[in-house]
Amino acid sequence: MAEVNLAYSSLTIGSDNIIYEGEKYAFMNFGTTSGMTDSNILYGAFPEEGEILITEGVANQLAGTAEEAIGKEVTVDVTIDGESLEKNYVISGIYSAGQAIGAFESVYMSTESFETLTAENNLDVEPNVVYLVSDDPENTQAIKDEVAALGYRGSSADALASTFTQMLDIFTYILSGVAGISLFVSAIMILTVLYISVVERTQEIGVIKAIGGRNKDIRRIFVSESFLIGLFSGLLGVGIAALLSTIGNVAVERIFGTTILHMTPTYALLGILASVIISVIAGVFPANKAAKLDPIEALRHD
């Protein structure tokens, strides 16, 4: 096999919860500390029997800051082999989620603590993850090939990060497509509403022209209306987007320990500007139709 500098096994279970003062906080991975080093620890120390490590994101949710989370007693709620297990643990330290251990928010305990937890519930659980660490990145593919030849599937940290990035890109493209369709439909609706407005206000237009109103005055009225529709629609849209971003970030931070939705003043301004421009463009056609109405025919309109 290609040169492997470090190998260790671990057990990783899917997302579960920490319960503190009646509140549940979700995390992505639950497993053992096998293979972790001092470089992973940000604050505190490795867990002993009855203790756990948590990521900084989880700690901030629990106690406001990572340092204040150390020493607090929490309840770990996990599901193993279909059974829901709950047990109290003390937080011994905070570790970095950006290492090879896993980039998601997680909770880890010593192998001995995990064995105690499963034994108390008459469960026999074996390690389900093996980490192979090589100092030479060029060995990665060779290691993956040899692991595959043994009948196992392996992924590198870069591959996992790339997959996650691709998922975010796809999500972004989908949202962009939905936004584009929404803008197009909005333009059609504004066009329709203003055309209806022209028809309903035909006599009013005739009166304005009869008292000396010029074509450009009529055109200015309808373009101004479309501008105001776009402005208020843009403000409403930005407000709703900011609210949904805040709600979405709360959910994402509970799971991943980070935020991905950011409403900046630049984005807000661009959103409002796009809404105004599209509304004004959509309003030009009804405005021209209104400006070209014959005043005599307009006054006769019933």
Query: pLDDT tens across 276-295, in order?
Result: 998 888 888 888 888 888 77
How much is the pLDDT for 255?
57
How much is the pLDDT for 10?
60
Q: 211 and 179 share a domain?
A: yes
How much is the pLDDT for 302?
62
Choosing from 154, 186, 206, the residue where a domain stops is 154
Q: 57 and 171 share a domain?
A: no
Q: 108 and 180 share a domain?
A: no
Q: 199 and 283 share a domain?
A: yes
Question: Is 1 within a domain?
Answer: no
Q: 57 and 141 share a domain?
A: yes
Ranges of residues in the chain whose predicted pLDDT is under 50: 99-103
Torsion on CA atoms 239, 244, 247, 250, rounded to nearest 10:
-100
Question: Is 61 within a domain?
Answer: yes
How much is the pLDDT for 215?
84
Q: Is 125 exposed, middle or buried (0-12, 13-18, 19+ CB in 10 A)?
A: middle
How many structural domains comprise the chain? 2
Question: Is 81 within a domain?
Answer: yes
The boundaries of the domain holding residue 138 are 6-154
Choosing from 154, 187, 220, the residue where a domain stops is 154
Question: Is 14 within a domain?
Answer: yes
How much is the pLDDT for 101?
43
Q: 72 and 169 share a domain?
A: no
Q: What is the per-residue pLDDT across 201-230, written as a single tens digit (0 to 9) for each?
A: 888 888 888 888 888 888 888 889 889 988
Q: 149 and 183 share a domain?
A: no
Contacts of 293 (CB under 8 A, 6+ apart): 198, 202, 205, 206, 209, 218
